[in-house]
Structure 1
Amino acid sequence: MASRASKGFICTRCAYRSSNSRAPFSTSSKLRQQQHDKSERPQLPPTSGYARLTNRSLISISGVDSTSFLQGMITQNMLMGKEPVRAPRRTGSYSAFLNSQGRVLHDVFIYPITKGSLGHTNDSTDEAAWLIEVDKSEVTNLMKHLKKHKLRAKLTLRALEEGEQSVWAAWNESAGKPRWAAYNLESDFPSELSDNGLVVVGCVDTRAPGFGTRYVTPGAEDLQVHLPEESQLQGSEVGLETYKLRRILHGVAEGQQEIIRESSLPMECNMDVTRAIDFRKGCYVGQELTIRTHHTGVVRKRMLPVQLFGVDEDSTFSSALNYDASKDIPQPPTGANISRVGTRKGRSAGKFISSVGNVGLALCRLEMMTDISLTGESSQYNPSQEFQIAWDADLAVGSTSSGAVKIKAIVPSWLREHIVASTTRNVSSARARENDEGLRARELVERLDDEEAEETK
C-alpha cells in the first residue's frame, strides 16, 4: 500500500503511522513503530484463555505479626468473623497500600499461604504467611515501604526471585460464574489442585464482573501442569498485550503506570466498587481521607474505558467499546489532558492513562464526559460535545511530532449501577441531614423564646 508521503501529503498523524506505510519522514523509534504496527497489535481476547503475568512480582511476608502488620497497612480486611472470635482470612483478595494522604502507592493482590502451599513447609501453627503480588517495577519501592513501617514487628520480608513462582490470569466467559465472587482456591486440599504437593493458590479477580481468576504457581512451568484434569482451563495461553487489551475492555487498571503512584485516589480507580476497600475495618495508613470521602464526599472522577477516534471522525455516535486492530490511531502520552473540542481554555475533563490501538483507559470527570449526575442536579454533560487529547512533541515518547485524537468515555453497566445507587444514597442522606439541622435549629429558636418569656415574667 502506498504511503501518504508518496502522494505528497503530510500531517501530524502520519508520524504515528505503522511501519506498513514506510513513511520516509517519520522519526519514531523502532520500538514506537513496533507498538503501532498493525500486524503486531493483539486481536480480540478469546472468551476463554490464560496469560502469564510477567509484569507482576511477588513478595513473601511471614511471622507471628504478619497478619496484624498487614491489617494496619492495606485497605482490605485481613481478619474475618466477628469480635471476639476473629481469624486471619483464608481467601485471596485485591487490595492497595496507601500513603498518609490517602493516595495509592501500590495496587496488590494478597494471598494466604498455608502449610504445603507453594512449598511452604513451616510447621508452626501460629506463624501466618502471605504473598503480596505487586507491579514488577515497584517491588523495591514496596519493600522500602514495608520495612519503614515494620519497626519491631516479628515478621520476615523477602522479594521472590524471577522464576521462583509464576503469576497467572485465567478466564472463561462462557462458564456462567457468579457476577461477583471472592473466594480462595483452598490450599488445604492439595489433591484438588495438584498431584505433586506444590499447591496452587489464588482468588477470583473481583475488579470486574466475570473478569476471571488469579493463580500463583511454583516454578516457571505452564499453568496447566499444576491443575488436575477436571480443573483444566479452557482455551490456550495468550500474550501479555492481549491480557492488557482485555483489561482495558473491562475498564480495569493495573500497576503504577496506570494507577499513578502517590497521585491516584483509590475510589477514583474504582477500588470501592471492586471490593479492594473494607470500610468497616479499623485503622490503616491513609484511612482518614478514604473513609471521609466514602461517607460524606462525592467521587467526581473515575477510571473509565475510552474509545479513541481520528480528529476527522465523529465520536458522538459511539455508545460501546469497539476494538479494531486494523485501525491506525496515534497513541497519546500518559497524563495528557482531555479537553472539549473547539475550546482553547477551560477546565480539564480528565487525564489519559493508557491504550491499545483505538481503546484505552482515562481518568474522566463524570459530569463532563458522561450523562451521570452525581448531585441530583443538572450536569455539564452535552451529548453533542466532543472531547480531544492534543499533545506536544516533547510529551510523545519516541517521537518528535505533536498529535491529537478524539476521545469518548464509556461507562460499564456494573460501574454505572454502583454510581447511580451511591448518588441516590448520598442525596437522600444529604436531605436527611438538612432536615435534621432544620429541626434542631427550630428547636433551638423555640427554646430561646421560652427562656426569654420566662425572664420577662
Structure 2
Amino acid sequence: MASRASKKFVCTSSKLHQHEQQHDKSGRPPIPPTSGYAGLTNRALIAITGVDSTSFLQGMITQNMLMGKEPVRAPRRTGSYSAFLNSQGRVLHDVFIYPITKGNLGHSNESPDEAAWLIEVDKAEVSNLMKHLKKHKLRAKLTLRALEDGEQSIWAAWNNESTEPRWAAYNLESDFPSQLADNSPVVGCIDTRAPGFGTRYITPGPDDLQIHLPAETKLQGLQVDLETYKLRRYLYGVAEGQGEIIRESSLPMECNMDVARGIDFRKGCYVGQELTIRTHHTGVVRKRILPVQLYGVDEDTTTSSSSSAPIYDLETQTTQPPTGANISRVGTRKGRSAGKFISGVGNVGLALCRLEMMTDISLTGESSQYNPSQEFQVSWDAGSAAGLVSQQGAVKIKAIVPSWLREYIVASTMRNVSSARAREGDEGLRARDLVERLGEEEAEEK
C-alpha cells in the first residue's frame, strides 16, 4: 500500500481544500474533510404524536424510550440511534429517534406538552415503516404522519479535531439536555455508530444548517455532498439504510447495533427482543459488517500494511462488485462463503464478514479458521447477485477491523468464555451431586 500514499484518506486539516474540487472524471467523491457537514437527502422523517406515542415506541424499538429508575421514569430528552425489528429479530429499519415539541412541527394550536417524536428512516422505506407502525397501532392514542420534502432537513456534521460534538456533550445513560435552548427549532443527537463519527441535526425548512445554529455552536469545515458523506461512512465501517442493512435479513448485532449503542439490553419487551437478548447473553456473533479494502486480482493483499481503517485512493481503478456477491477464499474450490459484499466507493467498501475466517479474531477463545497467508476474493458473473452487472469480474478483498470494534469484540468474547466456564462448572457440580445422591440411595437400599 506504500504506492498509494499520495492521495490516501488522512484525517488532517490540510485536506480541507480538496473539497473545493469537483468529483474526478470517474465520478468518485473526493477525500472527506476533517470537519464538515452534509445534507442527507436520502433520509426522511415520520412524526408520531399523542399521549401513547412514547409507550408505543417503547414496545417497538430496540432503544429505551424511558430514562431514570423505577418507579420514577420519564420520556428521554435526547435523540438516539435505534432499530425496528420483525418478530424473528431481523432488522426492518435502522432509525434515529428525536424527541420534539409540537412547535417544531408547526402545530401551534395543539398542546406543546404532549409527547412528540421524529423518526428518521431510509427515504425509500417510509411507506413500509408507516405500514408497520399502523399495523401495531391498534387503539393507541397517537397520530402518524410522514413529513413532506422541505418541511424539515436532516444533516450529519463532524469535526475530527474535536473530542466530542460541540453541543451534544451528554451520554445516552443520562438525561442531560443539549446545550441548545429549549425553544430552539433544531434537534439532534450524537451519532454513536462509531467513535467521533459526529452529530445528527434536524432543522426546519430547506435552509442551510448553519443558518439555524447560534454563533457559539457554528460548525467548522465545508458542506459536502451525499456521496462524500457515504464514503466517510465506509471508511468508518458504518452501514445505513436498507440498501446496506438488508430488510428482514440482517440481524442487529451483525450490523454492529450493539456496539453503536442502539440496543438497550435491560429494557422490557419489544418486537424481536427474544432472539436479540438470547444472542447477547448466550450466543456468539460470528458475522459483522466491516470496512473492506478492494484490490486488483493481481495484487498481493498479504503484504499490505495492517491498518484499523481502509485507505481510500483516488488513483486506484477498482471495479465494484455487485451487492450481495459472495466472498470466497482465493485458490480454493467452492466452499463455505466467507461473507457477502454490501457496497463500496472506489477501492473501499463494506461487507458482511465471517470474523474467524477473514480476521484474526477468535470468538470462542480457541483456534479459528484464520490464516494470515490466505487471500479472499469476490467474483461474479454477468447479472449475478442482487445488483445486476453487465459483465463478469473479480476483485480481491481484505476485511479491516476498526480498533474500537476490535476492543468491543474481544471484551465480549472474554465475557462469553467466562460465562461458559461458569455454566460448565455449575453443570459439573450438579452432576456430581446427582451421582452422590444416587450412591447414597443405593447404599440405603442395601
Work out the CA distance in 1 between the residues paired with 2:176 and 2:42: 23
Aligned in 2, Cα 1:304/1:270: closer, same or farther, shift over 3 Å? same
Work out the number of aligned pairs and report it: 416
| 2:14 aligned residue | none
Q: Give the alignment of 1:212-361 within 5 angstroms.
A: 212-318=198-304, 319-320=306-307, 321-361=310-350
| 2:9 aligned residue | none
Work out the CA distance in 2 between the residues paired with 1:337 and 1:206: 29
Work out the CA distance in 2 between the residues paired with 1:113 and 1:354: 34
Work out the CA distance in 2 between the residues paired with 1:420 and 1:236: 37
Unmatched segments (≥5 aa) in structure 1: 1-35, 192-196
* Distance apart, 1:300 and its partner CA: 0.2
Work out the CA distance in 2 between the residues paired with 1:387 and 1:140: 38
Equivalent AA in structure 1 for residue 181 of structure 2? P
Q: Give the alignment of 1:185-200 within 5 angstroms.
A: 186=177, 190=181, 199-200=185-186
Structure 1 length normalisation: TM-score?
0.88
SS in 2 for 1:449: helix
- Of the three residues 152, 161, 171, the one matched with 2:148 is 161
SS in 1 for 2:294: strand
Work out the CA distance in 2 between the residues paired with 1:142 and 1:449: 61
Q: Deviations over 1:122-163 (max 9, x none)?
A: 653662000000000000000000000000000000000001
Identify the range of structure 1 (314-323 vs 408-417) with the bigger mean alpha-carbon deviation. 314-323
Work out the CA distance in 1 between the residues paired with 2:82 and 2:134: 19
Q: Deviations over 1:194-247 (max 9, x none)?
A: xxx651000000000000000000000000000011110000100000000000
| 1:18 aligned residue | none
Work out the CA distance in 1 between the residues paired with 2:108 and 2:431: 65
Q: Give the alignment of 1:419-430 within 5 angstroms.
A: 419-430=409-420
* Distance apart, 1:314 and its partner CA: 0.8
State the identity as a percent: 80
Q: Give the alignment of 1:47-446 within 5 angstroms.
A: 47-114=34-101, 116-119=103-106, 121=108, 124=111, 127-177=114-164, 181-182=171-172, 186=177, 190=181, 199-318=185-304, 319-320=306-307, 321-395=310-384, 399-446=389-436
SS in 2 for 1:40: coil
Work out the CA distance in 2 between the residues paired with 1:447 and 1:93: 54
Is the 1:309–1:406 Cα contact (8 Å) retained in structure 2?
yes
SS in 2 for 1:313: coil
Aligned alpha-carbon RMSD (Å): 1.9
* Distance apart, 1:118 and its partner CA: 5.0
Is the 2:76–2:175 Cα contact (8 Å) retained in structure 1?
no
SS in 1 for 2:383: helix
Identify the range of structure 1 (373-382 vs 316-325) with the bigger mean alpha-carbon deviation. 316-325
Equivalent AA in structure 1 for residue 427 of structure 2? E
Equivalent AA in structure 2 for residue 64 of structure 1? V
Equivalent AA in structure 2 for residue 365 of structure 1? R
Is the 1:118–1:217 Cα contact (8 Å) retained in structure 2?
no
Is the 1:180–1:206 Cα contact (8 Å) retained in structure 2?
no
Structure 2 length normalisation: TM-score?
0.90
SS in 2 for 1:439: helix
Equivalent AA in structure 2 for residue 350 of structure 1? G
Work out the CA distance in 2 between the residues paired with 1:430 and 1:185: 38
Equivalent AA in structure 2 for residue 299 of structure 1? V
Q: Deviations over 1:416-453 (max 9, x none)?
A: 00000000110011011001100011011111111221
Work out the CA distance in 1 between the residues paired with 2:178 and 2:432: 61
SS in 2 for 1:57: strand
Displaced runs of 4 or more, over 6 A: none
Q: Deviations over 1:236-294 (max 9, x none)?
A: 10000000000000010000000000000000000011000000000000001000000
SS in 2 for 1:291: helix
Is the 1:116–1:198 Cα contact (8 Å) retained in structure 2?
no
Q: Which has the larger radius of gyration?
A: 1
Work out the CA distance in 1 between the residues paired with 2:27 and 2:392: 23
Work out the CA distance in 1 between the residues paired with 2:251 and 2:426: 31
SS in 1 for 2:130: helix
Q: Deviations over 1:166-206 (max 9, x none)?
A: 00000001012289944889479537xxxxx6510000000
Q: Deviations over 1:329-385 (max 9, x none)?
A: 000000000000001211000000000100000000000000000011100000000
Work out the CA distance in 2 between the residues paired with 1:371 and 1:454: 56
SS in 2 for 1:190: coil
